[in-house]
Structure 1
Amino acid sequence: MDKLFFQLTVFFCFFGGSSVFAKIRLPDLISDKMVLQRNITLDIWGWGDVGEKVTVRFQREHYYTEAGPDGKWTVQLPPQAAGGPYIMEVNEIVIRDILIGDVWLASGQSNMETPIARLTDRYPEINASNNHMIRHFKVPTQNTVESVQGDIPRGGKWHSAVASEVMNWTALAYFYAQEAYDHTKVPVGMLVSSLGGSAIESWISQEHLKEFPDLLVDQEAIDSLKIVGTDRGAGKWNTSDWNDTDWQTTTVPGLWRTQGLDSKGVVYYRRDFDIPPYMDGRHAKLLLGMLIDSDSVFVNGHFVGSTSYQYPPRKYDIPAGVLRAGKNNVTVRLMANNGNGGFVEDKPYKIIGDDMEVDLTGEWRYRVGLDLDEINGYKKRLSNFKAAGSGLYNGMIYPIRNYRMRGAIWYQGETNAGRPQYYQTYLESLIRNWRELYQAPELPFLIVQLPNYLEKSDEPQESGWAEIREAQLKATQEVPNTALAVAYDVGEWNDIHPLNKKDIAHRLFLGARRISYGEKLISSGPIYQDMKIEGDKIALSFTEIGGGLRSRDGALRHFAIAGEDQKFVWADAVIQGNTVIVSNADIKKPIAVRYGWSNNPEDANLENNAGLLASPFRTDDW
């Protein structure tokens, strides 16, 4: 007996007054095989019961906190050097095979989430991949315009690039991670948050879209709909003891419009009635004549029947055991979408029992449970809901804000090519937005310029794709710590999802080496700087010439020139020193030049001596 008492005492001392058995929850990002960003303070976060004690054990150190009033908790780890694999313990949860290295956020639309399985014929070496030091996490899709979300959906998982797991990767992330690891020899984590067909607006917060009213969602209308958009009386107003003394009164029978009730939707009616002692617990019949349109009926809180449309007579059985001597209650939940519901006149409204009849005509109390006019008013204020921005930001960017990273790569623009005029503003807003969110004012941001696509044009053409490329270039010129990967030579005219993701990854990482790793190298092809009209010719000057200008193959191609009529024609172009001289024998007074300005400028071939192609450009703004 004494031994049993001692065992119970020990048990309750250790467990009875503690939260040992309470389970904390971690986001899926913080799990086996994760890569944490090196050389920066790290957040480890999760959820638990209010006040629950949390202990994080990592690298022989212990860190303590507790869940706040909202159930959230965060522990900060000091900067860590690259290395691993390591183990982390968070209370009873053990996280294994952790690496410390560089984490890159990869976002955009379908070309960012192209599965690597599509590329195995082009790159058969993928099948034999055996790099355990690079990891990949794909954020599950969550598109929610209503509000920011606290976590990503469950189901995400870290995968290494070994043969048994590599098919879980997306293609561009794989090649970028390989480039980064081969160059730095530190672990690389690719955090992929992308969605095919998505527009750039959906990746930007409402706060950063304020200059575009059509993209803003009426938050007041959303919040109001959460209140009025559901039946306020459901499960409550039909109970027998609900206090309805503050409800309005009306007369039964009668229709809404004739009684001054201007509403469409759901109205609750309540009426108390008395039953003699001999009917206590006895079966009875409830007659409710004809109601417009559909009804659900409760006696003393017990459901006794419903009818889905106007015409059938309402005859409901009140089962034995429901009625009680003295005061009773009947509640009718009445729904009418046409705005003139109610109780039809000259029909019976009563309860019939053994030698008993209770008249239910006269005064009832009522309250509106669901007002469709009010709902429709708020819905009109949300007419742009499907076209509003921020849905993917709310669901797939904001929830990962605590995960530290080295930089971001962005491959998007195809969906916006039909409305390119605002793209530069959107892109600059997105970069500022994410830098604020991730508390990294100089977060490196690497952009894939749209590749070539669609059939080549025989003549110079206007092009939404060209305008997106221009917007992407200008954004990198306006926003510091950004870089551009030119890609108009690696696309496919008949496939919007080109398979050559390897060259794109290489060019992106050239930008990373310059702006993130501080290397002094040429990471860009020639960038148009200025023009000078010289008689019937135009001389173009460039930055990023990388030791000089050259043609990739043969004569320069895809230059167009225009005179005062603003009509572009193909032009001759030759390199003279560090300039390009452009002309056409039929244009005597040229005023503007364009280069690579089409959907598919695949044959454009101006590059620098580093072998990097010039970005497409125009000198006009027509």
Structure 2
Amino acid sequence: MKKKLVFIAGLFASALLSAKIEMPKVFSDNMVLQRQMPVKIWGTAEPNAEVEVRFGGQSSKIRASEKGDWEALLKPMEASGTSRNLSVFENGEESKIIKNVLVGEVWIAGGQSNMELPMRECDTLKYAEENADYPEIRYFHQPNVIARTPQKDSPKGSHWFACSKNAVGGMSGVAFHFAERLFKDLGVPVGILHSSSGATEMAAWIPREYGKLSTHLDSYMRDFFKEAENYDRAAYEKALGEYKKRDAEYKARCESAKKAGKPKPGRDWLEAIAPNEISPRYHFRSPTYHFNSTVSPIVGYSLRGVIWYQGESDSRDEKLPEFERNFKILVKSWRELWQMPKMPFLYVQLASYAEAGRPDGDKWAKTRWVQTLCQKSIPDIAMANIIDTGLKNNIHPTDKKTVGERLEKIALRKIYGKEDVNAYCPMFKSARYFNDRVEVAFDTYGRGLSCMGEPRGFELKVGGKWSPAESRIEGQRVIVRPSEFSEGRISGVRYLWKNWAKPFVWLYNQDGLPAVSFMDEN
């Protein structure tokens, strides 16, 4: 009996020893590994243990550090839709098996609510539910939470899943349509690492140490972290109590209005958000906290690039002057952390929208222009123009098919070298000013200019005042003249310079891609 107990104890000890391998959730069943690049795999083991990673006929052996950390590197592999297992051994014993692993193209889908918007809320949901059985498209879901410090693992509940008719509703609409088109055009598996959250400012996705690259951003972060130092359980309880009081008062006003037969009173959307336990500010206005929770854990995961849809929250007056600088810092920080100096960033320009009920306002027009300037000042990025889409009174347009597919076309042309794919919209090049007209030249990338409907969308600044103008196409140029006689010199030309620009979209290329909005002043 004693020998039997000793034997069982030995087995138990051996099991404990070989069960120490732990890995971040991004390394789990159904994952996609990046093709044609070295693939880094990492985790923890017993201190100084010998660790071996086996996959696809390869073996990578390393020794864990004294703290138990280890990193293995697999050699570049070609794409494969064949389901295989990845095994991790500790001291010669198989300790972890990751099942159903594919090799293909991996992209991060990042940004705020228009990237986050799930397929269940998109106008192509019915199509997806009827057609989206794509076992070779995989999606890494990460819950929308924040963290005070950079995390080594994704939030609880993070997992990979295969795209199916039943699961597609939970995928980002933009990411689904990007991945679907990429899968069909390249014929290889596609993996999406989702990391976006509604209303987030750009600063929420920038690591703390990179805030120092901008005096303004550093000051913004310093102020926040000073607040955060004093935000404890008592402060949270106080904020929660104040919120509940305001919420009760609002509900009482709603009840009174209902009894009196009056409309339900409105309130600022921010007032409806309860405080959170982690940050003294709204989660989406908490610098670095979203980076900490859903980007930091996947830093180093081998991938092709990033698709990015964000900017609405940085269009505010106090944010817009720093937009281009902050975007440069964001791109720089991610590229350096991944050690990919040319990591592609494909981003989306804002759609048409009557921001704050002001269809003719220019806040979003200014933001779009800054986004255009980013494309000129940051290397290896590209912008998808979607000004011909959008909903007048809804900041979350439900057409994500156009967005995802335009991003994918840019990826095919710019990243995958498909020269026969026409992905680029006409872009303002220069303007020549005359007494009676302005001649606007465009970069058309060999696809010419065309128009749809009656000329519209162009304006001229004459005598210091902007007014609608007449326009016609001549080759690669548009000739713009005042609609009526005005005293004064022509000193500016602009196109689609308004929040709600969709009805005024007139200029396209031969492929039906709309020209990018612009402003030029002489």
The equivalent position to 2:150 in structure 1, one of 148, 153, 164, is 148
Q: CA deviation at 1:564?
A: 3.8
Gaps of 5+ in 2: 89-93, 234-279
Equivalence for 1:617: 518
Q: Relative to total residues, which structure has the larger strand share, 1 or 2?
A: 1
Partner of 1:304: none
| SS at structure 2 position matched to 1:217 | helix
Check 1:97–1:457 CA distance in 2 against 1; reply closer, same or farther (3 A cut): closer
Q: Is the 8 A contact 1:528 1:542 kept in 2?
A: yes
Matches within 5 A, 1:234-253: none
What is the alpha-carbon root mean square deviation over aligned residues? 3.0
Of the candidates 436, 446, 464, which is equivalent to residue 336 of structure 2? Answer: 436
Kept after mapping to 1: 8 A contact 2:198/2:284: no
2:165 to 163, 166, 191: 163
**Aligned residue among 313, 321, 326 for 1:415:** 313
Q: Describe the shift of the 1:224–1:124 C-alpha distance in structure 2 as closer, same or farther (beyond 3 A).
A: closer
Task: State how far apart, in whole Å, the 1-side matches of 2:325 and 2:136 are.
Answer: 37
Structure 1 residue runs of 4 or more that deviate by more than 4 Å after TM superposition = 7-19, 218-226, 382-388, 455-459
Cα distance 1:223–1:409, how it changes in 2: closer, same or farther (>3 A)? closer
Counterpart residue number, 1:356 = none
Indicate the SS of the match to 2:179: helix
Q: 1:421 to 1:218 in 2, by over 3 A?
A: closer
Matched with 1:62 is 59
Provide closer, same or farther for how the CA distance between residues 500 and 386 of structure 1 changes in structure 2, counting only shifts above 3 A: closer
Letter in 2 for 1:619: D
> Matched residues in 1 for 2:183 and 2:283: separation?
42
Matched position secondary structure for 2:490: coil
1:117 equivalent in structure 2: 120
Determine if contact 1:45/1:74 at 8 Å carries over to the other structure: yes
Q: What SS does the corresponding residue of 2:292 show, helix, strand or coil?
A: helix
What is the CA-CA distance between 1:386 and the residue it aligns to? 8.9
The Cα shift of 1:68 comes to 2.4
Distance 1:555 1:220, change over 3 A: closer
Identical residues among aligned pairs (%): 31
Give me the whole-angstrom Cα distance separating, in 2, the residues matched to 1:155 and 1:500: 28
Asked whether the 8 Å contact 2:224–2:287 carries over to 1, the reply is no
Q: 2:291 corresponds to which residue?
A: 393
SS in structure 2 of the partner of residue 39 of structure 1: coil
How far does the alpha carbon of each residue in 1:173-220 deviate from its partner, in whole angstroms, 9 at most, with x for none? 111111100100000001110001111111112333221233223799
Structure 1 pair 142/384, CA: closer, same or farther in 2 (3 Å)? closer
Pairing partner for 1:136 from 115, 128, 139: 139
C-alpha contact (below 8 Å) 2:201/2:285 kept by paired residues = no
Shift of 1:541: 0.8
Aligned to 1:348: none
Counterpart AA for 1:148: P
Deviations 1:528-558 (A, max 9, x none): 111111112111111125332111x123211
Counterpart in the other structure of 1:604:
505
Matches within 5 A, 1:21-420: 21-83=18-80, 84-90=82-88, 91-119=94-122, 123-144=126-147, 146-210=148-212, 211=214, 212=216, 213-217=218-222, 389-419=287-317, 420=320
Partner residue of 2:385? 486
User: SS of the counterpart of 1:532?
Assistant: strand
TM-score by length of structure 1 reads 0.69
Counterpart of 1:474 (choices 369, 373, 390) is: 373
Distance in 2 of aligned mates of 1:484 and 1:78 = 32
Contact kept in structure 2, 1:19 and 1:52, CA below 8 Å: no
Residues 22, 49 of structure 1: 8 Å contact kept: no
Q: State the SS of the aligned residue for 1:100.
A: strand
Determine the structure 1 residue equivalent to 2:274.
none
Distance 1:58 1:14, change over 3 A: farther
Distance 1:517 1:48 in 2: 38
Q: Structure 1 residues 89 and 598, CA, compared in 2 at 3 Å: closer, same or farther? A: same
> 1:492 is paired with a residue of what secondary structure?
coil
Q: In the alignment, what sits opposite 2:237?
A: none
**Offset of 1:611 from its aligned partner?**
1.7
Q: Distance in 1 between matches of 2:137 and 2:455?
A: 41
CA shift at 1:95, angstroms? 1.2
Say if 2:45 and 2:69, in contact at 8 Å, map to a contact too.
yes
**1:222–1:196 Cα change, 3 Å:** closer
TM-score (norm 2): 0.81
Contact 1:545–1:578, Cα closer than 8 Å, also in 2? no
Aligned to 1:446: 346
Q: Equivalent residue for 1:497?
A: 396
Cα displacement string for residues 225-260 of structure 1 (whole angstroms, at most 9, x for unaligned residues): 79xx89xxxxxxxxxxxxxxxxxxxxxxxxxxxxxx
Unaligned runs of 5+ in 1: 231-381
Deviation (angstroms), 1:384: 12
Conserved in 2, the CA contact under 8 Å of 1:215 and 1:384?
no
**CA–CA separation in structure 2 for the residues paired with 1:223 and 1:534:** 57
Determine the C-alpha separation between the residues in 1 that align with 2:208 and 2:497.
33
Amino acid at match of 1:32: D
3-state SS of the aligned residue for 2:114? coil
Report what 2:250 is aligned to.
none
Aligned partner of residue 67 in structure 2, secondary structure: coil
**1:502: how far off?**
0.7
For residue 369 of structure 1, what is the aligned residue in structure 2? Answer: none
Aligned residues of 1:597 and 1:616 also touching (Cα < 8 A): yes
* Contact 2:358–2:499 under 8 Å retained in 1: no
Match for residue 579 of structure 1? 477
Task: Give the Cα separation in 2 of the matches to 1:57 and 1:8.
Answer: 34
SS in 2 for 1:613: coil
